Amino acid sequence: MSFQGPEEYDYLFKIVLIGDSGVGKSNLLSRFTRNEFNLESKSTIGVEFATRSIVVEGKKLKAQIWDTAGQERFRAITSAYYRGAVGAMLVYDIAKHATFENIDRWLKELRDHADDNIVVLLVGNKTDLRHLRAVMSEDAAEYADRNNLIFIETSALDSTNVEHAFQQCLNEVYKRVADRHFSNVNIGQTTALPTTNLQSTILEKKFCCNS
Amino acid sequence: MCWSGIPHVCRNVAWKILSRYLPLMADRREMMLKKKRQEYFNLVDQYYETRKQAIHADTYHQIHIDIPRMSPLIPLFQQELVQEIFERILYIWAIRHPASGYVQGINDLVTPFFVVFITEYIPLDIRTYKVNSLPESAIQNLEADSFWCFSKLLDGIQDNYTFAQPGIQKQVNTLKDLMMRINSELHQHLTSNHVEYLQFAFRWMNNLLMREMSLMCVIRLWDTYLCESEGFASFHLYVCAALLNKFSSELLQEKDFQGLMLFLKNLPTQHWNDDDVRFLLADAYRLKFAFADAPSHLKE
């Protein structure tokens, strides 16, 4: 499981996956980081963690992705992970309307705990369940528009748009970083960022990691 | 005697006694079982219908979507009848404990009891056994016994599951203090790489290591927990510390946050056997012996 050997990257971005229980957050993560999907994956307890690097405009971006448990009771634990996040994927299940209705609550969570300039994607997952669709794309797109979110529909099961969703998130984060949008950026730091008491948001690193 | 592992044939009765469910006096047992089993089904009659009420819809929904996702690789748990049993047990428990309610992870905690108690009725390999071929009364007894022993376990760790999960926060802090004392090199390594104990140990506490080991290993672990006073609340910490200690050299080789976190979140313990658990417990006992009674032990 561990990544051995020296690894270089230019930026380390912390991304969080949030949304109701059972919408497919963990499978989006495993599809993106390991190209795996598990129909019977267990519920997430607290938070899970994975990384993957992609290249944008010649820069290597390492995404450090935190997949949070959807149940309300874990909120006190999971909200700590929003700090320092530069991107968030707010996930709902297109076949379960209630999970879309709860997006408001999740958005509020983000507004309360995350950086104001965090890039937020609204992700309608499980498009493979087209015969069970309960949330119309137009409604979600309109909601996203109103709230300044990037909207995308995915299927972690058949891979549709998963890569694209994360790419888009990282692209947008990179754009905002290049434009110096983040208020509490700590460019040039060489420490890993994810502790709850660190304010560092984005870490620019060269030739580091395991070296 | 049970501390060092309970033989398969005795485990069913031993666990019920150690859980303080079954009386020690053999002649009182039957009457007690009859009473408790009846009491459980009275609770089911009284409360189970309430799952359809709007106020309890969230609780029931969460249980309902979690059950099919637990132990997905063991066919026993994919049987409809078994899933219904688990739903009832968890729902009745949740509704009677409103301060915590149902919290993801406690569903895992029913499984060891269920698997151990089913051996009263069927032979060794239970993984693919069709539970609906058991007589109705056996299924009911199994359900009621699992409920009561699971309840006894949770009674001892209820603040792990109340708002903000203070029990877990405290346990994680205690684990950190303990590690500072027993393996300061590893502790330093973790903290200097900004790894926080809550990030990896939360699940260890919330699910009592059930996500880190096979069900059979967990059952062996619980033989000992059930024998220790406060086994699930206190001795468990020493087991977690022993676990960290065990992988000390591997962890020290990881040179950054991501490497450490990925290792800690995917411990190579999935294929452990009884012997591995035995050694872990022995280490934990040694730690407890050395540190629990020391003067500055676990500052409150």
pLDDT digits (tens, 9 = 90+) for B183-224: 999 999 999 999 999 999 999 999 999 999 999 999 999 999
User: Which among B226, B259, B191 has a CA at the least distance from the CA of B2?
Assistant: B226
- Closest partner CB to B258 (pick from A48, A51, A73): A51
User: Which among B39, B132, B47 has a CA at the least distance from the CA of B82?
Assistant: B132
> Mean pLDDT, to the nearest integer, of B154-179?
95
Note whether A153 and A123 are within 8 A (CB).
yes
pLDDT category at B51 given cuts 50, 70, 90 is: very high
Chain B contact for A148, CB < 8 A?
no
Give the pLDDT of residue B15.
Answer: 97
Give the pLDDT of residue A157.
Answer: 97
Give the pLDDT of residue A53.
Answer: 95
Question: For residue B7, which amino acid is it?
Answer: P
Q: Do A22 and B65 touch (CB under 8 A)?
A: yes
pLDDT digits (tens, 9 = 90+) for B16-47: 999 999 999 999 999 999 999 999 999 999 99
Question: CATH: 3.40.50.300, 3.40.50.880, 3.30.70.270, 3.10.200.10. Which one for A11-182?
Answer: 3.40.50.300
Question: For residue A148, which amino acid is it?
Answer: N
Give the pLDDT of residue A203.
Answer: 52
State the DSSP H helix or E strand holding residue A90, giving kind and residue range, or none if neither: strand A87-93
Note whether A165 and A132 are within 8 A (CB).
no
B123-137, B177-191, B277-291: least confidently modelled range: B123-137
Q: What are the structure tokens assigned to A167, written together?
A: 């790419």
Q: How does DSSP assign A15-71, residue by residue?
A: EEEEESTTSSHHHHHHHHHHS---TTPPPP-SEEEEEEEEEETTEEEEEEEEEEP-S
Chain A contact for B166, CB < 8 A?
no
- Closest partner CB to B196 (pick from A74, A195, A209): A195
Residues paired with A68 in a beta bridge? A47
Q: Hey, of B78, B104, B197, which one would you mutate to test binding to chain A, going by the most A CBs within 10 A of its CB?
A: B104
> Mean pLDDT, to the nearest integer, of B152-163?
95
Q: Hey, of A20, A37, A42, which one would you mutate to test binding to chain B, going by the most B CBs within 10 A of its CB?
A: A42
Distance CA A148, CA A48 (A): 27
Low-confidence ranges of chain A (pLDDT < 70): 1-6, 183-211
Torsion, CA B32, CA B33, CA B35, CA B38, rounded to 10: 170
Q: Do A64 and B62 touch (CB under 8 A)?
A: no
Note whether A13 and A61 are within 8 A (CB).
yes
Give the pLDDT of residue A210.
Answer: 37
Which value does ipTM take for this structure?
A: 0.90
Question: CATH: 1.10.472.80, 1.10.10.350, 1.10.1040.10, 3.30.300.30. Which one for B166-299?
Answer: 1.10.472.80
For residue A88, report the phi and psi dihedrals to the nearest 5 degrees: -140, 140
> Mean pLDDT, to the nearest integer, of B1-21?
90
CB atoms within 10 A of CB B64: 15
Q: Do B202 and A47 touch (CB under 8 A)?
A: yes
Q: Is A8 helix (H, G, I), strand (E, B) or coil?
A: coil
Cα nearest neighbour of B61 on chain A: A21
State the DSSP H helix or E strand holding residue B114, giving kind and residue range, or none if neither: helix B106-118
Give the pLDDT of residue B71.
Answer: 77
Note whether A114 and A88 are within 8 A (CB).
yes
- Write down the pTM of the prediction: 0.90
Q: What are the structure tokens assigned to A197, written together?
A: 């008491």
Give the pLDDT of residue B83.
Answer: 96
Note whether B158 and B99 are within 8 A (CB).
yes
Q: What are the structure tokens assigned to B194, written together?
A: 């900004």
Give the pLDDT of residue A173.
Answer: 96
Q: Do A49 and B101 touch (CB under 8 A)?
A: no
Give the pLDDT of residue B189.
Answer: 98
- Closest partner CB to B206 (pick from A45, A48, A211): A45
User: Which among A75, A114, A107 has a CA at the least distance from the CA of A92?
Assistant: A107
Chain A contact for B212, CB < 8 A?
no
Boundaries of every domain in chain B: 2-155, 166-299
Q: Do B203 and A51 touch (CB under 8 A)?
A: no
Q: What is the mean pLDDT of chain B?
A: 93
Residues from chain B that touch A210, judged by Cβ atoms under 8 A, are 255-256, 259
Scan for tokens 């935190």, then name that residue: A66
Residues paired with A119 in a beta bridge? A87
Chain A contact for B199, CB < 8 A?
yes
Give the pLDDT of residue A5.
Answer: 52
Smallest CA–CA distance, residue A40 to chain B, in Å, is: 6
Q: Do B199 and A49 touch (CB under 8 A)?
A: yes
Distance CA A109, CA B174 (A): 29
Query: Which residues are CB-contacts of B61 (< 8 A; sequence separation ≥ 6)?
Result: none
User: Which among A102, A88, A138 has a CA at the least distance from the CA of A21?
Assistant: A102
Distance CA A142, CA A129 (A): 21
pLDDT digits (tens, 9 = 90+) for B221-236: 999 999 998 999 999 9
